[in-house]
Structure 1
């Protein structure tokens, strides 16, 4: 049985996973009075590059039987490096494409970097926290109603049944503090996505500054590795989550300084040009 307090917390974390991203997106919209379009572009690009484009190499190097995939899946370090790098490359490529081609009307506004990042990180938070916690809530209800074994027995193969059993045991063993920490970590990762968006935005906003794309890829890869190692039972969950929080803070501080260095929109100079042109015509 799972306590009512734990079940309620799972639902509360699910609600926050859906609500908090939109709260930040709308708050930034109100504060800056800029378009909300970059946030929705960020959501779409994340879904496209993560679930469509990234799935192609993953199918080849993780899910198709060949010498390379056997090496990657059979070695925890190789697996962690591969999945971390692939996620970084495709997500940063998505950011670059978005700023370079989809948001050309918005790249004069530095606020676009934050708006896009909130959409990109927000949809990830909705999926990783909101939807996941909703699933946990449904499973918790089935556990408390003694119906979960029936669900497990309907699964088609032994591997699926084993994976589901491990997930159910993890839900049963989950504590209030672990759930709170996991939820908090997801919000810090959302801010990390904002920080990485600032770095790629700088590469697009300024001429000959493409090194910031490479910096974003490296920082993204390093940030993903502990979570990937946790998936392979190499890194403890607590260590992975605490690292993610601390790492996100450090990268956000770096990105904040980068954001302050971005060139300002040249509205004043344009007004002067119009004044000069008017005087010449007069």
Structure 2
């Protein structure tokens, strides 16, 4: 039950608290734009496109089976390209508030809707429909993963905002590369180590990268990049 409660706290509680915080700080638009960027880039574009290829392209299926390392890298790259491009478009053309806090809330919005769709709603459905399961480890791991994913999305959003403010495409490329590496690792590690070990290593890598990227955004905030 503790694992289930933790997963709900992260994947449902954080989105609700972030929404209320955005309203209080009068930064609701950046928060909502972050959510829209994820929904458009992943739910409406990337995932349907990959599903279409999986159903209709024998070359795509052959590539996924014969070159699993490259396929995992490809999936990571598409995630990075779609999401970071969506962030840039949303910030460049629709977000007028471009200070650090707006980037922060954009990232929470982006990460929160992802957490809600892929973990929060399924976990809530399980909580209300399934029989009691005393083993909460999968839920706890899911909550940990979503927590650090939100931290990563905050960091990547601020890096992309830096690209918009300073008009330097290199920061978009950094965000795409970082996103690609993290997502690719999820598919690559299980090819070489056991599933249980892969879960632990993936979570550690995600945590380290997320904290490193977020620490960088704190540094640029102190440098006064957005002032």
Rounded to whole Å, the distance in 2 between the matches of 1:131 and 1:256 is 31
Rounded to whole Å, the distance in 1 between the matches of 2:59 and 2:186 is 25
Query: Counterpart in 1 of 2:161?
Result: 201
In the superposition, relative to structure 1, how do residues 47 and 255 fare at CA in structure 2: closer, same or farther (>3 Å)?
same
Q: Quick check: 1:202–1:262 contact (8 Å CA) kept in 2?
A: no
**Per-residue deviation, 1:69:** 3.3
Does the residue aligned with 2:130 lie in a helix, a strand or coil? helix
Query: Counterpart in 2 of 1:94?
Result: 86
Rounded to whole Å, the distance in 1 between the matches of 2:48 and 2:140 is 34
**Per-residue deviation, 1:211:** 0.3
The structure that has the greater radius of gyration is 1
Rounded to whole Å, the distance in 1 between the matches of 2:93 and 2:154 is 19
Aligned mate of 1:118, from 93, 96, 108:
108
Unaligned ranges ≥5, structure 2? none
Does the residue aligned with 1:54 lie in a helix, a strand or coil? helix
**Per-residue deviation, 1:228:** 2.4
Rounded to whole Å, the distance in 2 between the matches of 1:58 and 1:73 is 15
Rounded to whole Å, the distance in 2 between the matches of 1:227 and 1:140 is 28
Q: Quick check: 1:189–1:244 contact (8 Å CA) kept in 2?
A: yes
Q: How many residues align?
A: 224
**Per-residue deviation, 1:11:** 5.0
Q: Quick check: 1:34–1:111 contact (8 Å CA) kept in 2?
A: no
Rounded to whole Å, the distance in 2 between the matches of 1:232 and 1:128 is 23
Rounded to whole Å, the distance in 1 between the matches of 2:119 and 2:60 is 32
CA RMSD of aligned residues (A): 2.6
After superposition, residues 160-179 of structure 1 pair within 5 angstroms as 175-179=135-139
Query: Counterpart in 1 of 2:58?
Result: 66
Rounded to whole Å, the distance in 2 between the matches of 1:217 and 1:50 is 14
Aligned mate of 1:48, from 40, 52, 57:
40
Considering Cα pairs closer than 8 Å and 6+ residues apart, tell me whether 1 or 2 has the greater RCO: 2
In the superposition, relative to structure 1, how do residues 93 and 75 fare at CA in structure 2: closer, same or farther (>3 Å)?
same
In the superposition, relative to structure 1, how do residues 263 and 242 fare at CA in structure 2: closer, same or farther (>3 Å)?
closer
**Per-residue deviation, 1:83:** 1.2
Q: TM-score, normalised by structure 1?
A: 0.70
In the superposition, relative to structure 1, how do residues 248 and 175 fare at CA in structure 2: closer, same or farther (>3 Å)?
farther
Query: Counterpart in 1 of 2:18?
Result: 24
Report Cα offsets for 1:172-201 as digits up to 9, x if no partner.
7x8434532331221111010000000100
Query: Counterpart in 2 of 1:190?
Result: 150
Rounded to whole Å, the distance in 2 between the matches of 1:231 and 1:65 is 25
Q: Quick check: 1:125–1:186 contact (8 Å CA) kept in 2?
A: yes
Report Cα offsets for 1:111-155 as digits up to 9, x if no partner.
2111111101111111222123224435632xx6xxxxxxxxxxx
